[in-house]
Amino acid sequence: MGKLSAGFLACLLALAADDPGERLYQAQCAYCHGPRGEGGRGATLARSRLRHAPDDAALHRVISRGIPDTGMPGNSMSAREVEHVAGYVKSLGRVAQPPLPGDPQRGQQIYSGKGGCSECHTIAGRGGPLGPDLTDIGARRSAAHLRASLTDPEADLPDGFLQVRLVTRAGHHLTGVRIDEDTFSIRIRDLSGAVLSFWKSELAELHRDRGKSPMPSYRGPALELDDLVAYLASLQEAR
Ligand code: HEC
Ligand code: HEC
């Protein structure tokens, strides 16, 4: 594929496709789910069993209504179009995926050992709360997205994530992740995981660092990266 971006490839595939389901898919779904269903910010669809869509009725529902409180949007396709896209999604699941190179068991050791990942992330309720929960990350993200999240955490931040830096009137500097905010107050989780609330009137400075992440990029050897990705990809449990 060389330097072709996934978006450009999706465009070409959309133009070239004979099948109306494939055309719709490349135009409306591929930028999240990958031109071949390999996943990206969206779940991997090239698999025989889909968590949210165990049967045709559920698949149609997911495609037309989306999945509430996730990055999966609904859309205004007609019932016929939904049926076409659903047919195409099912065909993706019949193509075998290449196995991942790493060893998930070694990846788990790095994760909870020297990787220091569990200080910030929870899996099945265990770990620190600063980063997103990873319990079912393997079902929600592609291996390529997981790898990029480790080597370049700022490349594609999860929806709703915002790093903030603030300075109180008393002169304290804090960095954290926004939990919520309204006109008068803001709640953050600082780097130690503690939840702190402030009235905005108490703050001398408030910076919203869009596109920034407190997560360090992983600098270990390539083989360890393979192992970590294999471990994360194996995390498929429903939350
Ligand atoms: C803006 C990004 C985005 C777009 C566009 C998008 N999706 Fe999704 N989709 C997601 C995400 C994220 C999830 C995973 C939700 C979760 O489980 O947290 C998902 C989940 C799904 C699932 C469930 C997968 C499973 O394992 O159960 C199906 C099926 C699906 N999408 C199909 C589609 C189709 C077909 C389209 C185009 C009509 C589409 N999506 C467009 C982001 C997107
Ligand atoms: C200092 C806290 C911190 C540490 C340590 C940390 N992370 Fe993160 N991680 C975050 C935060 C915050 C995010 C959300 C913003 C982003 O994507 O960078 C994140 C995002 C991620 C994502 C993307 C999640 C998604 O929904 O796309 C993955 C995967 C991930 N981390 C895995 C790891 C692994 C594996 C390690 C250990 C090698 C690790 N993290 C170490 C804080 C951390």
pLDDT at 121 over 80: yes
Pairing of strands 163-168, 126-127: unpaired
pLDDT at 97 over 80: no
pLDDT at 51 over 60: yes
pLDDT of 93: 82
- Rg over alpha carbons for the chain, rounded to the nearest Å, is 20
- Cα separations in angstroms, 21 against 31, 122, 158: 15, 38, 28
Whole-number Å distance between alpha carbons of 136 and 141: 9
Residue whose CA lies nearest to ligand 2 atom number 37: 117
pLDDT of 235: 92
pLDDT of 2: 44
Residue whose CA lies nearest to ligand 1 atom number 9: 72
With residue 102 as reference, give the H or E element that holds it.
none
Amino acid at 83: E
Evaluate: CB of 146 within 6 angstroms of ligand 2: yes
Which atom of ligand 1 lies closest to the CA of 53? 27
Which atom of ligand 1 lies closest to the CA of 28? 37
- With the most atoms of ligand 2 within 8 angstroms of its CB, the residue from 32, 108, 130, 149 to mutate is 149
| Residue 71 near residue 42, CB atoms below 8 Å | yes
Whole-number Å distance between alpha carbons of 178 and 32: 25
Tens of pLDDT along 209-239?
Answer: 988 998 999 998 999 999 999 999 999 876 5
Tens of pLDDT along 3-37?
Answer: 456 666 666 666 666 789 999 999 999 989 888 88
What phi and psi, each to the nearest 5 degrees, are found at residue 84? -60, -50
- 25 or 192: which carries more pLDDT confidence? 25
pLDDT of 1: 41
Tens of pLDDT along 137-178?
Answer: 988 888 888 999 999 998 878 777 889 999 999 999 999 999
Q: How far apart are the first and last CA of the chain?
A: 35
SS3 236: coil
Evaluate: CB of 164 within 6 angstroms of ligand 2: no
pLDDT of 171: 94
Domains parsed from the chain with CATH numbers: 6-92 (1.10.760.10), 104-154+215-233 (1.10.760.10), 163-209 (2.30.30.100)
Residue 191, Ramachandran bin (φ over 0: left; ψ between -120 and 50: alpha; else beta): alpha
Which atom of ligand 1 lies closest to the CA of 45? 24
Name which of 48-52, 54-58, 89-93 the model is least confident about. 48-52
Residue 160 CA to ligand 1 centre (angstroms) = 17
- 60 or 1: which carries more pLDDT confidence? 60
